[in-house]
Amino acid sequence: MRTFIAGLLVCWCLFPSVADAQERVGVERLLQHVEVLAHDSLQGRDAGTEGAAMARTYLREQLDGLDLQTFDGGLEQRFTFTHRRAEEEREGVNLMAYIEGQVVPDTFIVVTAHYDHLGAQDGDIYNGADDNASGTAALLEAARYFTQHPTDYSLLLLFLDAEEHGLRGARAFVADPPVAREQLRLNVNMDMISRNPADELYAVGTHHYPRLRPVLEAVGARHAIDLLFGYDQPDHPEQDDWTMASDHGAFHEVGIPFVYFGVEDHPGYHDPSDTFENITPDFFVQAAELMLDALQELDAQLPTVAPNVTK
Ligand SMILES: [Zn+2]
């Protein structure tokens, strides 16, 4: 195996553009992450349950194999939240690490995905393959890619818990970040990126932060799937407003610009049919590729797209 990999590396070094194309997203790994995280044995990864702890064990195993930095408090951030169905206080756990920026290491882009889901109810397992094993898998692969291709600004990789209980992990993070809040310049959130038969992915948030839009339009034009904008305006006659629909809402609340990537609701949304078998793999891989591209471009143009406006 090692010899085989060494041979590939020699080959890739000679053809760096091919290397980039092949290395950006590991397709088998990306799909494996979703298959594992959405497996019945994890019982829907409800925050504060054994299933969520099993998900964390898997994430830690994957992260341990990468050359990541951790903050003084370590990989975990613990917090308490009120469990919606149980109506009791439980403990949630975010996982975070970072990749130091090569030019401006003390300023961070926070890349988020929630790994929790709805758990099991009345004999049904809510596997949450798209919501949000998909974003979690893409975040793992982004971590792998950017350890090899560091950005100018630091990337904070944040696996959030208890999103399904009201963005609780994200709110715990912005209330007590591991660095000063002013150092968090932008949030890129992924939640449901693996299932769309029309090859359409939404970038949400440019209504609030219009400087992001030209950069994202340029990224979208380079990819086969359609990157659409919207779902971020109050009082829109035909579209819901997703500004507070996932963890990016917690960043927006404190004035940190965000872009949220996700698909339109589908029959599997918050349904037991949100399984690994029902994702659309080709779309998912392309969405993950687009995400890496977007992160690179946003990093390259960060002072322009996200001037320091935190409050
Ligand atoms: Zn979600």
Query: Which residues in 115-252 belong to E strands, given as ranges?
Result: 119-121, 124-126, 153-160, 184-190, 200-204, 226-229
Give me ligand 1 centre to Cα 224, in Å.
24
Q: In the predicted model, is pLDDT for residue 98 greater than 50?
A: yes
Give me ligand 1 centre to Cα 247, in Å.
8
Give me ligand 1 centre to Cα 191, in Å.
5
Average pLDDT, stretch 134-153? 97
Give me ligand 1 centre to Cα 19, in Å.
32
Give me ligand 1 centre to Cα 65, in Å.
26
Q: In the predicted model, is pLDDT for residue 10 greater than 70?
A: no
- Please name the fold of domain 2-305: Aminopeptidase (3.40.630)
Q: In the predicted model, is pLDDT for residue 74 greater than 50?
A: yes
Give me ligand 1 centre to Cα 208, in Å.
21
Give me ligand 1 centre to Cα 12, in Å.
36
Output the pLDDT for position 191.
Answer: 98
Query: Which residues in the chain belong to E strands, given as ranges?
Result: 76-83, 88-99, 104-114, 119-121, 124-126, 153-160, 184-190, 200-204, 226-229, 258-262
Residues whose CB is under 5 A from ligand 1 (ion)? 131-132, 191
Give me ligand 1 centre to Cα 90, in Å.
19
pLDDT tier for residue 23 given thresholds of 50, 70 and 90: low
pLDDT digits (tens, 9 = 90+) for 76-91: 999 999 999 999 999 9
Output the pLDDT for position 176.
Answer: 97
Q: Phi-psi category of 192—alpha, beta or left, where left has phi over 0 and alpha has psi -120 to 50? A: left
Give me ligand 1 centre to Cα 261, in Å.
11
Output the pLDDT for position 3.
Answer: 38
Q: Could you tell me the two tokens for 258?
A: 């965000």
Output the pLDDT for position 237.
Answer: 87
pTM as predicted: 0.92
Domain boundaries, the chain: 2-305
Q: In the predicted model, is pLDDT for residue 173 greater than 90?
A: yes
Give me ligand 1 centre to Cα 162, in Å.
10
Give me ligand 1 centre to Cα 176, in Å.
22
Average pLDDT, stretch 134-152? 97
Give CA–CA dist 68/298, Å, rounded: 21
Output the pLDDT for position 308.
Answer: 66
Q: In the predicted model, is pLDDT for residue 4 greater than 70?
A: no
pLDDT digits (tens, 9 = 90+) for 208-243: 999 999 999 999 999 999 999 999 999 888 899 999
Nearest to 184 by CA among 155, 213, 212, 162: 155
Give me ligand 1 centre to Cα 42, in Å.
16
Give CA–CA dist 10/51, Å, rounded: 41
Average pLDDT, stretch 149-174? 98
pLDDT tier for residue 7 given thresholds of 50, 70 and 90: very low
Give me ligand 1 centre to Cα 204, in Å.
14
